[in-house]
Structure formats: C-alpha cells, structure tokens
C-alpha cells in the first residue's frame, strides 16, 4: 500500500484501490448515512476529503472521537468525488485514531481566530491555514535565496553570532556575558570586563556585513543568511528583536552593479514564490490582502525606478501632502515619504541612491561632492525600505578621516582598515530583512506573524 501526503494525492490523483494518509482533522460534517472528514497534513493548504459510509459499523464506532484537532491514519480507495469542491476523495476502509483532541477543550475551533490570540498559542498556530501558508512561503523564499546566489557562484559564509564589534555604531545591542550580575567584578569602580567569558565586552550581532567584507576581499562574491539581533525598544509591526538577514557582499563591484543585483535578486525570489507556492499565494490574495499577487506580478515584470536622494527630496517638496515629518534636504526619509514615492509618484519600486553622509554609516564610499555617499535603498509599495546597501569606502585615508569625523575609535576597526591597506578593491553589498520580505510577499500585517517564534520587546514566549 502506498503512503502518500495530501499534496501528492491532490496533484497526482492516483485512482488506486489502496492509499494510506495521516494528518489532523480540520472539520467534520455528518449526515444520516455518511460522514465527511477534512484532513490536513501540512503539505498543502487544501484538505483531503475523507468519506465515511455509515454502513461500516467499525467506522461508525469511531465517529464520536473524529473531532477537530484529532490525529488519524486513514486507508482506503481514492475515487472521483461527486461533490463540486474537490476532484477526488478518499473512501475510508479503515481509520486509526492516533491522538484524540477533546472537542470542548481544543483551542483551535472551526471559527476564525485573531492573530493576537494565535500568538498566545504559538505551539498550535502552525495548524491553521494562515500559518501553514506562511511557513511554506518562508521555506520557499529561503530556498530561492540560496538558489539565486548559488547559481551565481556566491559563497555562503557563516558570520559569527557573538561579536565584539558594533557594526553600525548604532547601539541597540544585546550584551552577552557570564559575569554574575548580582556581584560584578570591579576595577577602580568600573565593571572589569577582562574577567568576562571572552575577556572583553561582547554582544549578539546586529549585522554580518563587516565580517562578510573580509571574505569578499579574499574569495569574491559571498552572502550571509543568518539571525540578527537588535534590542529595539519598540512595539511596531515591523520590528523584531531577533530576525533573519540576507547580506550579499560583492568584490570588484560598484554601486550601479550593486543596484542591478538587488533588483534582479528581488524579482527572482518573488517570481520563484509566485511560481512554486501558487495555492498559498492565492490564499493570501483572498483572505489577507486583495491584489497582493497582482502587485507582485507587476514587480517581477517591472524595471525599478532609479533616482538620487536629491531628486527624491525635490519630488517630496513638490507634493501637496502634509507629511508628519517636514521635508528638507538632509532629513532621513521616513516611511511616509518612502511610501509616497513608491505608491503615489512612481507607482513602482524605487531605488534611491547618493544619500547625505550624515544619515548613513561610516563605511560608505564618499562621493566627490564630499556631502553624499554611494548608498542605495530599495523601496517598495506598502513597506517602504526593504533593502539597504552601499558601495564601501575602499580608500584607507578617506575611511580613517570618516572614523575621526564620527569620533569612532580607529583601534576598534584595525582589521577593517587593513582590508584597505593591503590590496584594497572596490566592493559593494546590501542587506535584506527576511521577515520584512515575507510581510511584503504575503501581505501579513504584523512581523510577529511571519516568524515561527517571535522575539520582541517584552515578549519571548515558547
């Protein structure tokens, strides 16, 4: 007998005499002479209908325990279904109940539950349509990301999770320590971190970029894809304390080629999901956000608009809109500005380049104007910034000057500077927040609902 998953049964429709399938009951329907079970095993969003003929006394005995949430194994013949909703159904000959789910206690009832409630039962929410679909899309996107880079011979580099450097100089870091917090070793009144596990202060990484650059400056194109941590004291629908980031770093690559890669990459992975996750994407389109698939199809077919920061500011100054943050050359673009540009002005993804140096990180390549740097952000409708990147400063003296200007300690960056001292090369890269991407693809409103176990300010359940 063939053991099959629901996805294969529904696509292959093998009208054979005996099939075995296992899963969890989603719903049941009962009539005088028949009973129906909708079975889901996670392989696909669609359920398999199981038909029970009540003339079979053995099966009838089981019916009281065939309730929502129970796990079963069913055997029988696959037959064409007379009902309109499905092509095939399994005519049960034998059913084994693997685990009951007491109907009055099971937390997932037939009705639609709020996402807030489902976050409280993160151990059961993967059994809902929405979280099953999010999980399969997340998986497909991960695979597509690796596929894109592997096909182009980028090396996958594992950068450290514990680090002694603060990449962006941005703070917001989680400190890692084994020092006894109730009895800290002190030296002249200050905490003596030389007694800590690593002999110095250490943190969870906020980005793998600087380490990624080391490998790009030796082996050519590389990418990272790993967890990232930020102690963001914010309760927004776009920020997590633990999220995943993809950071390619390209050798012998300028800003233009960086933008080209970012555009090709986004279109490739979105196209992959549209092609390989059609049933899940149709579900999001119907239940989460109408028009999501059309927007994504348009993006895959589009050529991104490219403008400079200065041009973007000019567009915003022309706008007859009252922005919450007033527009002026030099401001950091807020998401209201970014959304206005992609949704109202260009109605297209937009890549903005050449930002004022004051609002960008120290490692970005200085333009000849000495005012702007070779940074680029990719903006998309609804989300705003989805990718941030730059060409890196490759000139040792310019980089040192920038560190001084920002009052950063040169000694902390000694190895980063040596990459410029010995055999420096033009190189560029960007970062994509994985959960922001999944939000964009699925239309899910809250970032906590696109990662299996969200960690955010004041919450780390499960």
**Structure-token match 């109907």, residue found:** 103
Part of the chain binding ligand ATP (CB under 6 A), chosen from 103-111, 122-130, 236-244, 391-399: 236-244
Rounded to the nearest whole angstrom, what is the least distance from the CB of residue 243 to ligand ATP in the complex? Answer: 4
Which residues are CB-contacts of 415 (< 8 A; sequence separation ≥ 6)?
214
CA dist 319 and 326 (Å) reads 11
Rounded to the nearest whole angstrom, what is the least distance from the CB of residue 167 to ligand ATP in the complex? Answer: 9
> CB-wise, 66 or 313, nearer to ligand ATP?
313
Nearest to 216, CA basis, from 431, 430, 427, 432 = 427
> CB-wise, 52 or 266, nearer to ligand ATP?
266
Residue 365 is classified by DSSP as: P
Helices assigned H by DSSP within 237-362:
255-276, 278-283, 292-301, 309-318, 335-339
> CB-wise, 76 or 433, nearer to ligand ATP?
433
Contact flag: residue 336 with ligand ATP (CB under 6 A): no
CA dist 229 and 202 (Å) reads 13
Rounded to the nearest whole angstrom, what is the least distance from the CB of residue 286 to ligand ATP in the complex? Answer: 27
- Under rule CB under 6 A, which residues in 420-449 are in contact with ligand ATP? 431, 433, 435-436
Contact flag: residue 360 with ligand ATP (CB under 6 A): no
> CB-wise, 59 or 299, nearer to ligand ATP?
299
CB 225 within 8 A of CB 241: no
Residues in the chain, overall count: 462
Among 65, 73, 93, 232, binds ligand ATP (CB under 6 A): 232
# of chain residues touching ligand ATP (CB under 6 A):
14
Residue 366 is classified by DSSP as: B
Rounded to the nearest whole angstrom, what is the least distance from the CB of residue 344 to ligand ATP in the complex? Answer: 20
CA dist 367 and 309 (Å) reads 13
- Under rule CB under 6 A, which residues in 370-409 are in contact with ligand ATP? 385-386, 388
171: number of Cβ within 10 Å: 9
Rounded to the nearest whole angstrom, what is the least distance from the CB of residue 163 to ligand ATP in the complex? Answer: 15
Residue number of the CB closest to ligand ATP reads 433
Buried b (16+ CB within 10 A) or exposed e, 366-404: bbeeeebbbbbbbbbbebbbbbbbbbbbbeeeebeebbe
CB 12 within 8 A of CB 19: no
Q: What are the strands, taking DSSP E only, across 230-369?
A: 242-251, 305-308, 350-356
CB 167 within 8 A of CB 207: yes
Part of the chain binding ligand ATP (CB under 6 A), chosen from 45-53, 93-101, 230-238, 343-351: 230-238
> CB-wise, 56 or 445, nearer to ligand ATP?
445
> CB-wise, 19 or 437, nearer to ligand ATP?
437
Rounded to the nearest whole angstrom, what is the least distance from the CB of residue 447 to ligand ATP in the complex? Answer: 6
- Beta strands 34-40 and 48-53, pairing class: antiparallel
Instruction: Find the Cα–Cα–Cα–Cα dihedral 404, 409, 412, 413, rounded to 10°.
Output: 0
Mask for 239-268, x = binds ligand ATP (CB under 6 A): xx--x-x-----------------------
> CB-wise, 74 or 206, nearer to ligand ATP?
206
Rounded to the nearest whole angstrom, what is the least distance from the CB of residue 411 to ligand ATP in the complex? Answer: 24
CA dist 289 and 439 (Å) reads 11
Rounded to the nearest whole angstrom, what is the least distance from the CB of residue 9 to ligand ATP in the complex? Answer: 38
**Structure-token match 């608009």, residue found:** 305
Rounded to the nearest whole angstrom, what is the least distance from the CB of residue 398 to ligand ATP in the complex? Answer: 22
Residue 110 burial (10 A CB sphere; 0-12, 13-18, 19+)? exposed
Rounded to the nearest whole angstrom, what is the least distance from the CB of residue 244 to ligand ATP in the complex? Answer: 8
Part of the chain binding ligand ATP (CB under 6 A), chosen from 93-101, 117-125, 231-239, 411-419: 231-239
Among 230, 267, 360, 392, binds ligand ATP (CB under 6 A): 230
Residue numbers at the binding site for ligand ATP (CB under 6 A): 230, 232, 238-240, 243, 245, 385-386, 388, 431, 433, 435-436
């Amino acid at each position: 007998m063939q053991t099959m998953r629901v996805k294969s049964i529904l696509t292959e429709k093998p009208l054979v005499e005996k099939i075995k399938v296992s899963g969890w009951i989603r719903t049941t329907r009962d009539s005088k002479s028949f009973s129906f079970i909708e079975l889901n095993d996670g392989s696909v969003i669609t359920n398999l209908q199981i038909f029970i003929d009540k003339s079979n006394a053995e099966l009838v005995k089981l019916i009281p325990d065939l309730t929502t949430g129970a796990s079963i194994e069913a055997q029988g013949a696959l037959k064409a279904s007379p009902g309109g909703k499905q092509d095939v159904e399994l005519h049960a000959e034998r059913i084994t109940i693997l685990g009951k789910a007491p109907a009055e206690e099971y937390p997932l009832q037939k009705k639609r539950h709020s996402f807030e409630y489902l976050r409280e039962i993160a151990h059961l929410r993967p059994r809902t349509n929405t979280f099953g679909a999010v999980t399969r899309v997340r998986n497909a996107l991960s695979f597509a990301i690796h596929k894109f880079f592997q096909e182009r011979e980028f090396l996958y580099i594992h950068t450290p999770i514990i680090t002694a450097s603060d990449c962006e100089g941005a703070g917001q870091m989680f400190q890692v320590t084994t020092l006894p917090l109730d009895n800290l070793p002190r030296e002249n009144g200050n905490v003596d971190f030389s007694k800590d596990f690593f002999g110095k202060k250490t943190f969870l990484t906020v980005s793998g970029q600087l380490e990624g650059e080391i490998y790009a400056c030796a082996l050519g194109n590389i990418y990272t894809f790993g967890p990232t941590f930020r102690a963001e004291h914010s309760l927004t629908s776009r920020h997590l304390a633990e999220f995943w980031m993809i950071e390619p770093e390209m050798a012998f690559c300028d800003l233009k080629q960086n933008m080209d890669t970012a555009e090709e990459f986004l279109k490739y992975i979105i196209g992959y999901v549209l092609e390989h996750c059609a049933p899940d994407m149709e579900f999001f389109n119907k239940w989460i956000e109408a028009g999501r698939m059309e927007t994504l199809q348009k993006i895959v077919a589009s050529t991104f608009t490219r403008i400079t920061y200065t041009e973007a500011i000019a567009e915003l100054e022309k706008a007859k809109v009252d922005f919450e943050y007033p527009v002026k050359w030099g401001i950091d673009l807020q998401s209201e500005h970014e959304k206005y540009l992609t949704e109202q002005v260009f109605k297209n993804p937009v890549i903005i380049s050449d930002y004022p140096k004051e609002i960008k990180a120290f490692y970005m390549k200085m333009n000849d104007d000495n005012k702007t740097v070779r940074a680029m952000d990719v903006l998309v409708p609804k989300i705003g910034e989805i990718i941030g990147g730059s060409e890196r400063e490759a000139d040792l003296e310019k980089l040192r000057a920038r560190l001084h200007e920002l009052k950063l300690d040169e000694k902390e960056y000694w190895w980063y500077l040596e990459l410029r001292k010995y055999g420096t090369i033009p190189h560029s890269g960007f970062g994509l927040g994985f959960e922001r991407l999944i939000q964009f693809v699925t239309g899910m409103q809250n970032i906590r609902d696109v990662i299996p176990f969200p960690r955010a300010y004041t919450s780390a359940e499960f």
